[in-house]
Amino acid sequence: MLRRYHPVMLGPRAFSDLHALARRVSRRAEEADDLVQHALLTALEAGRTNLASPETHRWLAGVIRNRAAFDARTAARRRKRETGWSEAQPALAIRAETPAPELAHLSPALRVTALLALSGHTRQEIGWLLNLSDTALRQRISQLKRALDTAPETGPANSLIGPLAFGRIRRALLGPTRRPEAFLASHDPDGHLFVVSRSQISTPRQQTRV
């Protein structure tokens, strides 16, 4: 498609000059053909049918430079995103696998209860999520308080340090919980809200995303 226009409308010398320019400004040599093709198609779409004129030749050169710069910026942003994501994964994995120092001494059951409380869940929510009766939950909370009272000092809890806006998330959950059928509302670790509703039919609990 590149050479479809130049024998008639674009001289061989002009075409060669444009192709040489495209090779110089492109990130890879194989992209030069695409740059020239893009410039020619853009010229025709803009009504510049006299591709052999010096003015159009300069215009085509500008299109090639601008497109090459745009492609380079796009590629740089993509590499930056990919690099940032790949570098963040080991840190996230370590954070997920390593319990907070102030909770490390707790048993798994007490640690889960503490994390749910620290992330802002109510007693009703914690009881439902852990499938505990009110009596069992009170006992669990009492055990947790005793364990924390006897724990060594490790500084302030950092379980809520992170990118999530916990206060805003909790406020956003107030509306859905006012529905008559709503049982409880909460969010997952990524901040996605969900509402657990009382089933209208004789089936297990149903969960609705909002």
DSSP at 102: G
Task: From first to last of the 210 residues of the chain, give the pLDDT tens digit.
Answer: 444 444 346 777 888 888 898 888 887 777 888 888 888 888 888 877 777 788 888 888 888 988 888 888 888 888 777 776 555 555 544 444 445 556 777 888 888 888 887 776 788 888 888 888 989 988 988 888 888 777 665 554 444 444 445 556 556 666 655 666 655 666 555 555 566 665 555 554 444 444
**Do 87 and 130 belong together in one domain?**
no
**Do 110 and 87 belong together in one domain?**
no
Q: Identify whether 100 is part of a domain.
A: no
**Do 85 and 26 belong together in one domain?**
yes
- Name the domain boundary from 72, 94, 116: 94
- CB atoms under 10 Å from CB of 199, counted, come to 12
Range of the domain at 138: 106-161
Which of 65, 61, 68 shows the shortest CA–CA distance to 17? 61
CA distance 128 to 183: 9
**Do 180 and 198 belong together in one domain?**
yes
**Do 25 and 57 belong together in one domain?**
yes
- Phi, psi angle pair for 29, to nearest 5°: -60, -35
Q: Do 200 and 207 form a contact (C-beta atoms < 8 A)? A: no
- Name the domain boundary from 38, 70, 94: 94
Element (H, E) at 134: helix 134-149
Angle at 27 between CA 24 and CA 31, to 5 degrees: 85
Per the structure, how many domains does the chain have? Answer: 3
Say if pTM beats, i.e. exceeds, 0.85.
no
Q: Identify whether 54 is part of a domain.
A: yes
